[in-house]
Amino acid sequence: MATLEARAPVTQPHPTKKKNVVWDLMTTVDHKKIGLLYGVTALFFMVVGGIEATLIRIQLAKPENDFLSADAYNQIFTMHGTTMVFLVGMPIAVALFNYIVPLQIGARDVAFPRLNALSYWIFLFGALFMNSSFLIGQAPNGGWFGYANLTSEQYSPGMNIDFWALGLQALGAASIMGGVNFITTILNLRAPGMKLMRMPLFTWMALLTSFLIVTALPVFAVALFLITFDRFWGTTFFVTQAGGDPVLWQHLFWMFGHPEVYILILPAFGIVSEIIPVFSRKPLFGYAVMVYSGALIALIGWGVWAHHMFATGMGPIADAFFTVSTMIIAIPTGVKIFNWIATMWGGKIRFTTPMLYAIGMLITFTIGGVSGVMHATSPHDLQQTDTYFVVAHFHYVLIGGLIFAIFASLFYWFPKYTGRLMSDRWGKVNFWLFFIGFNMTFMPQHWIGLLGMPRRVFTYSAELNLTGLNQLSTAGVFVQILGVAVLFGNVLWSLKRGAPSGPNPWGGATLEWATTSPPPEHNFNRIPVVHTREPMWLESAAAEDAARGTPEPHIHLPPSSYWPIFTAFGAVLTFVLFLTNLWWAPLIGLTWTTLGAINWAYEPTH
Amino acid sequence: MALNEAAAVRPGGALARRAAGALSALVLAAAPVSGQEPAYPQTTFQPVSAYGASQNAVFMNTFWWTMGILVLVVLLTLYVAWRFRERPDSPEPAHVHGNVKLEIAWTLIPAVIVVLIAIPTVQTIFENQRRAPEGALQVEVIGHQWWWEFRYPEHGVVTANQMYIPVGRPIDLKMHSADVIHSFWIPRIGGKRDVNPQARAHEGESPSFNHIVFTADSAGYYPGQCAEYCGDSHAIMRMSVVAVAEPDFDAWVAAMQRGDAPAEAPVVAQPAAQLTVPTETGAAQAPPTQATPAQALAAGQEGVRGQEAQGPQPRPLPAPGQVRPPTGIGSAVQPGIPDSIYALQGRQVFGSSVCVACHAIQGTSAVGMVGPSLTRFGARPHVGAGAAENNLANLIRWIRDPQALKPGTLMPGAHKAGGGFPPTGLTDAEIHAIAMYLLSLR
Amino acid sequence: MANTAVVHEHPHHPEPYTATGLPTLKLGFWVFLGSETLFFGSLISMYMVYKHESVVGPYSTELLDIPLTSISTFVLLMSSLAMVIALDQVQQGSRRGGAIGIAAVAVLGSLFLGFQAYEFTHFYHEGLTLQTNLFGSSFFVLTGFHGAHVSLGVIWLLVLLIQLLRGGLPPGKSLQLEIAGLYWHFVDIVWIAIFTLVYLIE
């Protein structure tokens, strides 16, 4: 096979002794391996969060159920939200940024490979730290939004919220590092000729997402510091007796929290914008408008945070402002949807699994979009907010939008990761199961909410007369589980038995399809020079030759390093030792981190 | 005993009926039927105030516009996917990169729709947040973990978990929290507002309160609950509004003011004959503005059930006791002793127990402020802000071990501490007497 | 690593190609500073929100010493000037000038920290702690985070100073000092904002 021949001369010029796989992963700075680590970790936590979701739905399958205690339920719904946002949604997007973006822009790695590894290890350790709270039965229980002053020492005296605040602080730091890395990578490491407006849409959305990450997460970091200091050092930021205002927390949280929504959904837009053109065999309709609307969404996304707070009592002027700004954001979003449809128009549509998921996403995301406009109708949002109507809405956006796109991407890029195709037949089985189960679970929740059931309740009264709808919703979960089980089975089966894919099984247009599947460690034998937006359609010979032809004589890749994992461990250790309440204990972690950082700084990278 | 019969007819679990309920819910969303007792007591589709109705109206406006867009997108997507599916004879697609006119069109059309949605929305925002008119009845709403306190400064009345209001008079809810953030939500009255803890104000500044201003159109029992996650038993922080005609409201106020002060004539004199029976599926209702407190009580007693036992009101005591107290209490009950004796005994026990440290009963020496006021407790539909139906058995369970019915509640049990308070140490006989006494407070 | 063998080492190999023409490290650091801006922006906003909300004293108006802080602000500003000179010297290959410059920045930075330490202890003796009131909480947290940044900067500069003295900072590697300089100027600018909003504006 041509691909293998092209690989051989470069990656193994001086065969080294075979390394231990675990050690290799622990010290790797290769963006592809780190991407896979992120992806596998995120999928693992998707299972964890899914189990939590299942427990929630079992508890709500009947009124006054005692399957879970109030305390257990509150921990589980908090961790379900926190896990799905921070340990699934964000890292799975980062996994794709890692693997795909350098390939799409014709780069050999990300801008700061060791920083990339550091991000991953802090993410992993932070995630494990936060989940370790289950072992002592004190998982976070303040909701993923952690509203003050419920989360203050006075009303949450256990260690639950400490795990939450410290764990998220670590995860946030990891995200910021990742954001810095990807902005720099995308701006600076593009192949010659790849102007900004020639970048694939997915890379564009990665760039915008990264901008949102580096701007929104620091705000959250401040909020978390304030609550942490309140809890550990007795500051009075959210202590009402001292004049502190819990509503300040809400502003800080949602100033981060709403951009966070776009951090989660923009990558999905990027994925769908890659898949629809390829399987319609047409370029993306209105590329420039797609870029600008994405940028506009990211920008306006900063000016809508208080639409989460209409019930807080901000006064009519603020309500009106945030109502209108929120409605405006629907316009660029609508434009994207119409442009996707227009891309399909006149095309030659192949109904592969990724395309099915993309089309499914178009529909389900639109449902989430219109219920979003209903929320924006702030007088009635006072009825909707904190009810299951909102739960239905954001699951349509985050599952119907993000997860559908992620599953689409899994089928779409799996050949690139492994050199093998996933089973399309089982893919379709999995799509329909998941699509039906998803709608069965969340469509009834629109009515459950508008007929009077609040969110975050561990029990409800039979008198609400909502038992039937709740049972339907719970039943849907099991259909979804079946769908996901088929998906995982497909992945495992395809890893060994999938049909060999070759470098470009779908006729993709972008540079990742120029190189072999999986790509060599250095990605491209020579850095391609780009003249068009669709190099693999319009200049594929040159692109393939650069990627798989005669390698350039000197290819420099950064050597692997154990300092990232060493430093990450120290950083998370600092947070863990904070829990001891001994003032000197975190200094141990800090010293460890500093030691790592200094060795890092003076480690030779050539 | 009326209370217990009601407990016996809790809704069964017939799946078919539930499925039918689910189905009718779907229909309901599209075509709300107003003026009837709703199948869903906490529905947002059948508001009983102009405040709620205005919200429903803007929702319906938005709903139909966005449904139009949704249907368009879905049909278009399916059509395009079908029409342009790959066929053996499909031509290779032309590489179209865009169409400026089209893109402007599908930017402008949604923009126009947004304007059409935004205008009534913004109008309603301002209308609904006007200050209360002159003559509005102010009720101070105080959220506690996990119960509701209602204060009527105009009348000097304090009650808990069930708010009485007069039909037709503007109500101004002035809300704040004693601990964490709660949210006051009676769906049929209208949209919720957060009940925020007051940041202590420094000199020269007055604290700000959240308000809901509304006027109830019709008499009835409107349940609701806390909507902002507020800790362990957030799910069991329920309350209800009972809207009654103005004279009945005055009678209720008088009764509340008197409380358990030594004897006087019963307060309410209206015959209970007018009472119509609201059924589960919600057909009948008393003519608006004619409901008496008795009716409201009846409605409130067990949600929308429990009616026939509303004989002459108020009875001095809960009921003749065919009902045996639950196991363990039996020894406390001697056959042949009238309930009134227990109630009298309970009054004494209560007054000399630790209960009065936290609870108040108007007209007695109990003036505790930590827990809910128990004035006319026997008339309330629930124990523990919705933890259980209010009947003798549940009340005894509650006083013995409230944590079992409501996780995290501050109230200590007979043998278990709670909320930093030591166990009350009440004996079963004392608990039984207290329960009989509290139920007699109607 | 498989490819280490094919690496070539030149002491003065040309700047690698980048799409923007900026060194990657510098671009990345600018992005990081952008993120830091939001961090301090949030802290300063928090301080402003709580500025007049303390319910017990001591209040900000009773404690903040504008003349003294003006001096420490001046010291910090001068350190930025020294930073510019230090970078210039290193870029010109003057090890001695560079060392003096870097040392001056570190000393001035430490002096600023000394002022801050004095201010903190003074406030403490006046009865203001983290726990006293909203002013205490927000003041110490805001200026504390800034002070931590200055401290980190001083350590960073000292490390670079040692590196320079050992001959490890030739003009070809001056980017390292330039990055530290960006950081230093950023921290300085943040202080200007804090000084204006916390101390000067009533």
Label residues A100-125 b or e (16+ Cβ within 10 Å = b). Answer: bbbbbbbbbbbbbbbbbbbbbbbbbb
Residues A547 and B236: their CA atoms lie apart, in Å, by 63
Q: Comparing C-alpha atoms, which of B266, B264, B258, B260 is closest to residue B294?
A: B266
Q: What is the pLDDT of residue B342?
A: 84
pLDDT tens-digit series, residues B306-346: 333 333 333 333 333 334 444 444 445 566 677 788 888 99
Residues B148 and A259: their CA atoms lie apart, in Å, by 35
Residue A447 token pair:
């009515």
Considering just the CA atoms, what is the radius of gyration of chain A in Å? 24
Q: What are phi and psi of A160, to 5 degrees?
A: -50, -55
Q: Which residues contact B227 (CB under 8 A, 6 or more apart)?
A: A311, A385, A386, A387, A454, A455, B183, B184, B185, B192
DSSP B216: B
Q: Comparing C-alpha atoms, which of A544, A391, A374, A591 is closest to residue A3?
A: A544
Q: Comparing C-alpha atoms, which of A231, A70, A86 is closest to residue A150?
A: A231
Q: Do A215 and C35 count as a contact with CB atoms less than 8 A apart?
A: yes
Start-to-end CA span in chain C (Å): 60
Q: Which of A311, A342, A366 sits opposite B70 (nearest CB)?
A: A366
Give A246's contacts in chain B (Cβ within 8 Å): 180-181, 196-197, 199
Q: Which of A71, A242, A367 sits opposite B407 (nearest CB)?
A: A71
Query: How far off is chain A from C201, nearest CA to CA, in Å?
Result: 22
β-pair type (B157-160, B147-152)? antiparallel
Q: Do B93 and A348 count as a contact with CB atoms less than 8 A apart?
A: yes
Start-to-end CA span in chain A (Å): 33
Distances (CA, A) of A345 to A200, A365, B72, B93, B101: 20, 19, 15, 9, 16
Query: How far off is chain C from A175, nearest CA to CA, in Å?
Result: 11
The 3-state DSSP class for residue A449 equals: helix
- Cβ atoms within 10 Å, residue B204: 6
Q: Which of A187, A222, A554 sits opposite C46 (nearest CB)?
A: A222
Query: How far off is chain B from C170, nearest CA to CA, in Å?
Result: 51
Q: Under a CB-based contact definition with an 8 Å cutoff, are residues A515 and A501 in contact?
A: no
Give B202's contacts in chain C (Cβ within 8 Å): 52-55
- B306 to chain A, any CB pair closer than 8 A? The answer is no
Q: Do A521 and C3 count as a contact with CB atoms less than 8 A apart?
A: yes
Q: Which of A16, A194, A229 sits opposite C2 (nearest CB)?
A: A16
Residues A196 and C199: their CA atoms lie apart, in Å, by 44
Q: What is the pLDDT of residue A16?
A: 53
Q: Under a CB-based contact definition with an 8 Å cutoff, are residues A570 and A592 in contact?
A: yes
Q: What is the pLDDT of residue B198?
A: 84
Residues B253 and B293: their CA atoms lie apart, in Å, by 10
- Cβ atoms within 10 Å, residue A455: 20
Q: Which of A13, A215, A242 sits opposite C133 (nearest CB)?
A: A242
Q: What is the pLDDT of residue A17?
A: 55
Q: What is the pLDDT of residue B287?
A: 36
pLDDT tens-digit series, residues B403-439: 999 999 999 999 998 888 899 999 999 999 999 999 9
DSSP A552: P
Q: Which residues contact B402 (CB under 8 A, 6 or more apart)?
A: B384, B387, B409, B411, B412, B413, B418
Q: Under a CB-based contact definition with an 8 Å cutoff, are residues B317 and B340 in contact?
A: yes
Q: Which amino acid is at A235?
A: T
- A533 to chain C, any CB pair closer than 8 A? The answer is no
Give B97's contacts in chain A (Cβ within 8 Å): 283, 285-287
Q: Comparing C-alpha atoms, which of A203, A192, A204, A271 is closest to residue A542?
A: A192
Tokens 């008339």 label which residue?
B379
Q: Comparing C-alpha atoms, which of B184, B170, B246 is closest to residue B215?
A: B170
Judged against a pLDDT cut of 60, whether residue B273 lies above it is answered with no
Q: How far is CA C94 from the centre of its chain?
A: 24
Q: Under a CB-based contact definition with an 8 Å cutoff, are residues B172 and B139 in contact?
A: yes
Give C52's contacts in chain B (Cβ within 8 Å): 202
Query: How far off is chain A from C82, nearest CA to CA, in Å?
Result: 24
Give B201's contacts in chain C (Cβ within 8 Å): 55
Q: What is the pLDDT of residue A276?
A: 97
Testing the interface with B: which of A62, A254, A382 to mutate, by most B Cβ within 10 A?
Answer: A382
Give A348's contacts in chain B (Cβ within 8 Å): 84, 86, 90-93
Q: Under a CB-based contact definition with an 8 Å cutoff, are residues A172 and A90 in contact?
A: no
Q: Taking a contact as any Cβ pair under 8 Å apart, which residues of chain B between 371 and 390 contact chain A?
A: 386
Query: How far off is chain B from A383, nearest CA to CA, in Å?
Result: 4
Q: Do A344 and B81 count as a contact with CB atoms less than 8 A apart?
A: yes
Q: Comparing C-alpha atoms, which of A428, A429, A294 is closest to residue A355?
A: A428
- B238 to chain A, any CB pair closer than 8 A? The answer is yes
CA atoms lying within 13 Å on the CB side of residue B63: 15
Q: Do C52 and B202 count as a contact with CB atoms less than 8 A apart?
A: yes
Residues B217 and B94: their CA atoms lie apart, in Å, by 63
Residue A190 token pair:
């593009």
Instruction: Kindly list the averaged pLDDT for each block of 10 residues, start to end, along chain C of length 202.
Output: 39 70 95 97 95 87 91 96 96 94 97 96 94 94 97 95 92 93 97 95 80
Q: Do C32 and A214 count as a contact with CB atoms less than 8 A apart?
A: yes
Testing the interface with C: which of B200, B202, B203 to mutate, by most C Cβ within 10 A?
Answer: B202
Whats the size of chain A, residue-wise? 606
E strands along B178-232, which residues? Answer: 182-186, 190-195, 210-214, 220-225
Q: What are phi and psi of B307, to 5 degrees?
A: -135, -45
Q: Under a CB-based contact definition with an 8 Å cutoff, are residues C131 and A234 in contact?
A: yes
Q: Do A454 and B238 count as a contact with CB atoms less than 8 A apart?
A: no
pTM for this predicted structure: 0.89
Peptide bond into A149 cis (omega under 30): yes
Residues A89 and A267: their CA atoms lie apart, in Å, by 10
Q: Under a CB-based contact definition with an 8 Å cutoff, are residues B212 and B220 in contact?
A: no
Residues A267 and A202: their CA atoms lie apart, in Å, by 7
Q: What is the pLDDT of residue B200?
A: 77
Dihedral sign, Cα of residue A140, residue A144, residue A146, residue A150 = negative
Q: Which of A70, A378, A461 sits opposite B125 (nearest CB)?
A: A378
Q: Do C46 and A244 count as a contact with CB atoms less than 8 A apart?
A: no
As a whole number, mean pLDDT of residues B203-214 equals 84
- B265 to chain A, any CB pair closer than 8 A? The answer is no
Q: Do B200 and C54 count as a contact with CB atoms less than 8 A apart?
A: no
If 0-12 CB within 10 Å is exposed, 13-18 middle and 19+ buried, where does residue A501 land?
buried
Query: How far off is chain C from B201, nearest CA to CA, in Å?
Result: 7
Q: Which amino acid is at B287?
A: P
Q: What is the pLDDT of residue A18?
A: 61
Judged against a pLDDT cut of 60, whether residue B271 lies above it is answered with no
Distances (CA, A) of C191 to A327, C62, C73, C76, C194: 38, 21, 8, 8, 5
Q: What is the pLDDT of residue C16?
A: 79
Query: How far off is chain B from A600, nearest CA to CA, in Å?
Result: 44
Distances (CA, A) of C184 to C77, C99, C149: 10, 16, 9
Whats the size of chain B, residue-wise? 442
The 3-state DSSP class for residue B244 equals: strand
Q: What is the pLDDT of residue B208?
A: 82
Alpha-helical (H) ranges within B235-369 are: 246-258, 293-301, 339-352
Q: Which residues contact A176 (CB under 8 A, 6 or more apart)?
A: A213, A214, A217, A218, A221, C32, C35
Residues A389 and B66: their CA atoms lie apart, in Å, by 16
Residues A472 and B386: their CA atoms lie apart, in Å, by 25
Residue of B nearest to A453 (CA): B42
Residue of B nearest to C57 (CA): B202
Residue of A nearest to C43 (CA): A222
Residues A170 and C78: their CA atoms lie apart, in Å, by 35
Give C159's contacts in chain A (Cβ within 8 Å): 598, 601
For residue B16, what pLDDT band results from cuts at 50, 70 and 90? very low
Write down the ipTM of this complex: 0.92
Q: How far is CA B409 from the centre of its chain?
A: 19
Distances (CA, A) of A162 to A85, A157, A253, C123: 18, 10, 17, 29
Q: Under a CB-based contact definition with an 8 Å cutoff, are residues A515 and A503 in contact?
A: yes
Please list the ranges in chain A whose pLDDT falls under 50. Answer: 1-15
What percent of the residues of chain C are helix, what percent strand, and what percent coil, each to the nearest 5?
Answer: 75, 0, 25
- C200 to chain A, any CB pair closer than 8 A? The answer is no
If 0-12 CB within 10 Å is exposed, 13-18 middle and 19+ buried, where does residue A323 land?
buried
Q: What is the pLDDT of residue B442?
A: 84
Neighbours of chain C (3+ CB pairs under 8 A): A, B
Residues A169 and A503: their CA atoms lie apart, in Å, by 40
